[in-house]
Each structure stands twice: as structure tokens, then as C-alpha cells.
Chain A
Amino acid sequence: MPTRALVIGGLVLGCIYGVFMGLYGATRPDTSSFLQLLATTLKVPLLFLLTLCVTFPSLYVFSALAGSRLKFEQTLRLLLAAVAINLALLASLGPVVGFFTLSTQSYPFMIVLNVIMLGFSGLWGLIFLRRALVHVFAPKEPDAPVTLDIAVDGSDIAPVEGPVKGQEGSSDDGSADVTVPLVGAPAIPILPGASPYARSLRRDRPEEPGLLVFRGWLVVYGVVGAQMGWVLRPFIGSPDLPFTWFREREGNFLQGLFDAIASLFS
């Protein structure tokens, strides 16, 4: 799928959920506002777009530093795909939100419901991303020698490679031949399961740092996304306040969520 299709598809899906989310503002008894419906329709895709804009540059820089095999375009497309899945699920939850909007007057309930919907679909997007990443960073086909980039003297001596047949099925994951060519040193063949070094090599997998960067990024993405939602509020539109495109800078996402939950119980 081309990158542009991913972006446009994502934006459309975001708008669909935005319509259902903004429905509350449009159907409030006293202060109904179609502007709120319009604002929310535009803000939901914007929320995802801006979150990606904020978090993507550093993700790319750190994954490249950590030795990720993914190129710029590939990294971007992977994330766009994850966001598109997130938005597809979110859009499909739209009718549920619409149903509750028409059957509920409680504003705090709508806040909590929307946070749950966004959180739930976001989690799915991240699960997809994680699965894709494990696939991307998984060791390649078992016959490929694992190259440890240890330059002993910093000179340009070509790596010496000497694949050695391993005993098939002797290791847990069925990988067969592992050769560690040391630059500037004779190749050290390692039979899987034969030496403790081979085991430790497989356990800390040399290509893991890239995966680690992505894992850390998932947390950052979640935090920025939640706070971005707070910065872009109002999405639903409080029944006591007139329509505004944006609210004052104050508080943060967690504070707002706890307030909504607290007022549900009071």
C-alpha cells in the first residue's frame, strides 16, 4: 500500500470517529453546537497526525543509532500502518459511541467512554506494531551467519567467514549454523548449544537494541498521545461551556481523566 493511501485512509477513518465523538456537542439540549461537531471531526485525525509528528523524528534517530535495519521510509510506513489499524478499530467503535451519546446525558461518562475507546484501539495498534517489530527484528534465516562487528584493530581487514555445519535440532529454536567472524582475527565457529558463549550470544541477540528503542518509544508515544488529546481539547464539549476551538492551557491529561472519574462517582 502506498504511503499516501495510508495517510489518507487514516485521516478518513479518524474523521469518521470524530463525527460520532462530536455528536454529543451537536445534540446537547441547551448549548448545541454544530461547530463542535466540525471541530471534533477535524481534531481526531489531527490528534494522531500531530502525535506522530512529535514522536517520529526521535524514534527514527534512535533506532538508526541502535542499528535498526529499517530505512526512513520503511520506519514511517510501519508506524503509519499501526496508526491506520488503530484508527480503523476506532472508527468501527464510532457507532457505539454514537449510541451512548443519544442515550446518555452524563458528560463525565462520555469522557470516560471516549478515553476507554481511544485507549482500547490504541492498545491494538501498539500490539500490531509490536508483532510487526518482533518479525522485523527476528534473526534472519538460520543459515545466515551472525556477524559480530568487533573491529580488533580498527583497520579495514575483511571479515573471514567459515560456516561450520551445526548439529541440526540440537538447539531450542532449531537454528543451525552460527558463525562469528571477527574482523582481523581468525573466524571462530560456534556450534549452537556447543559453547556457553553461543548460548549467551543467542540470549542477548546483537540486533536487539533496535527493538528496545521501539519498546521505549511505545511508552513515549502513549504519553505524548494522551497529553496531545488534552492540549487539543475540547473534543466532546462540556454542556456548561460555550463552544471554543481550544481551551486554556492548564492541567494535564491524567488530572482531567481523574476529575471525570471522580465526578462520575459523586
Chain B
Amino acid sequence: MSLIATTNDLLRTRHPERLVESLPTRQLILLLIVAGFAYGAIMGSYTLRPLQALFSGTKVPILLTASSIVCLPSFFVINTLLGLRDDFPVVFRALISTQLTMAIVLVSLAPFTAFAYLSVEDYNFAKVFNGIMFLVASLAGHVQLGRVYEPLIQRDPRHRIGRRAWLTLYIVVTIQLAWMLRPFVGAPGMPTAFFRDGVWDNAYVVVINEVWNLFTR
């Protein structure tokens, strides 16, 4: 029950960084894993293969945490160079609350995903629909991050640069990570798998190649 209470507090607080500080770390990790797994399991149930649902459920919490972990060191150095190191603990907690908000919003959107799978039997539609759900969740997380950053920026405009740096880093890394962690939905014709072949491919190179092929064919 305390997980639900934590969820409620996280959604309603206007100072997520203080809430994150007051909660036990184990509780935060548990919430992220439970919420991420729940959405992932629904996401991976497109072909009704339990193993794929389990794989996708495992991968969403990884997606929500790993890119932040990769970006944190450079973000810390950027903050230090900007002379904002004193605020870093606050910003760090704000980032945790952002990822948690994303996970919570994703769970609340899971019924839509299940209903979309039920209504439309089209793999591409399923992919795009999940993309939209992740976009909505990211925007909600962004709003939560903004709540912490707004007063910080008012006090020191250099925080604006810090926030932009974080967003740029995070988006660039997350896109590649999401590509590596494919498949999330599970194409009907493809075997159930934790990773697709070519896991070490580069998302950006793939896109550039696609665009290149489009013009040279």
C-alpha cells in the first residue's frame, strides 16, 4: 500500500526533490521497477507471448534508468564547470523524480495500450502507439523536472544551460539505448527474444543509411 501512497505523493507534490530526499531509496527503486515492469509487460503482450511480455517488462525499467546513469557523470562535470555544483544534489533528486513520474504515467497509460492492441491488429500501429505513450510520459516527466528547475533558473540563469545540456545528453543516449533494447513490442513474424540480432548497431547510422537509400535508390 505504501507504494500507492508514494505514487500519490509524487504526483501531488510541488517539490519533488524534497519528497525524493525524504523517501527511502529502496522504495524509490521498487516503485520504478514495479511501474516500469507493468507497462513493459503490457507493451510486450502484443503477440500474446508470455516470454516476450516478461522480456519487455524487464527492459522498460532498464530503459528508464540506464541512460540516466550513462549521462550523469558528464552532467555532473558540466554542472561543476558552470559553477552549479552546490545545487547538484537538488538537481539529482529532481532527475530521479522525473524518471519516477515517467514510470507512473506509463502505467496509467497501459490500459490505453492494451485497448489499442485489442482494437487494431497492426504491428506498425502498435509501434507508433507505444511511441506516443512514451512521448506523453516523457513530457509529463519534463514538466515535473521543470517544477524544480524553474526556481533554480530564476536564481541563477546558468541552470538553463544545465537543463538543456541534460535534455540533449539524455535524448541522444536514450534513443540509442532504446534501439539496443529492441524488441519491445515483438513483431509477429519474429521469434521471441531479449535482444534482436545486431544489438550493437547504431540507431543513428541505421537512420542515416535508410535516408541515404531513399535518395540513392
Whether A158 sits at the interface, judged by CB under 8 Å, is no
The answer to whether A154 and B90 touch across the interface, beta carbons within 8 angstroms, is yes
A62 CB to closest chain B CB, in angstroms?
7
Name B18's closest neighbour in chain A (CB-CB): A156
The answer to whether B143 and A65 touch across the interface, beta carbons within 8 angstroms, is yes
The answer to whether B11 and A61 touch across the interface, beta carbons within 8 angstroms, is yes
Per-residue contact bits, chain B 90-123, to A (CB 8 Å; 1 contact, 0 not): 1000000000010011011111101100111100
In which size bucket is the chain B interface? 20 to 34
The answer to whether A64 and B12 touch across the interface, beta carbons within 8 angstroms, is yes
- A contacts with B: majority SS: helix
B95 CB to closest chain A CB, in angstroms?
15
Partner of B111, one of A53, A149, A250: A53
The answer to whether B151 and A151 touch across the interface, beta carbons within 8 angstroms, is yes
Name B4's closest neighbour in chain A (CB-CB): A72
Pick from A92-100, A120-128, A190-198, A224-232 the stretch touching chain B. A224-232
Per-residue contact bits, chain B 44-70, to A (CB 8 Å; 1 contact, 0 not): 000000000000000000000000000
Whether A152 sits at the interface, judged by CB under 8 Å, is yes
Name B11's closest neighbour in chain A (CB-CB): A64
Name A154's closest neighbour in chain B (CB-CB): B151
Q: What are the residues of chain B within 8 A of A54 when measuring CB–CB? A: 111-112, 114-115
In which size bucket is the chain A interface? 20 to 34
Per-residue contact bits, chain A 218-242, to B (CB 8 Å; 1 contact, 0 not): 0000001001101100000000000
Q: What are the residues of chain B within 8 A of A72 when measuring CB–CB? A: 8
A231 to B116, CA, bound (A): 10
Q: What are the residues of chain A within 8 A of B104 when measuring CB–CB? A: 61
Q: What are the residues of chain A within 8 A of B111 when measuring CB–CB? A: 53-55, 57-58
The answer to whether B119 and A227 touch across the interface, beta carbons within 8 angstroms, is yes
The answer to whether B108 and A58 touch across the interface, beta carbons within 8 angstroms, is yes
A251 CB to closest chain B CB, in angstroms?
10
Chain A residues within 8 Å of B, Cβ to Cβ: 53-55, 57-58, 60-62, 64-65, 67, 72, 149-154, 224, 227-228, 230-231, 249-250, 252
Closest 6 CB pairs of A and B: A64-B11, A61-B108, A57-B108, A58-B108, A54-B111, A151-B151
What are 28 contact pairs spanning A and B, CB under 8 A? A54-B111, A54-B112, A54-B114, A55-B111, A55-B112, A58-B105, A58-B111, A61-B104, A61-B140, A62-B105, A64-B11, A64-B12, A65-B105, A65-B143, A65-B144, A67-B12, A67-B14, A72-B8, A151-B151, A152-B155, A154-B148, A224-B112, A224-B115, A227-B119, A231-B118, A249-B118, A249-B120, A250-B121
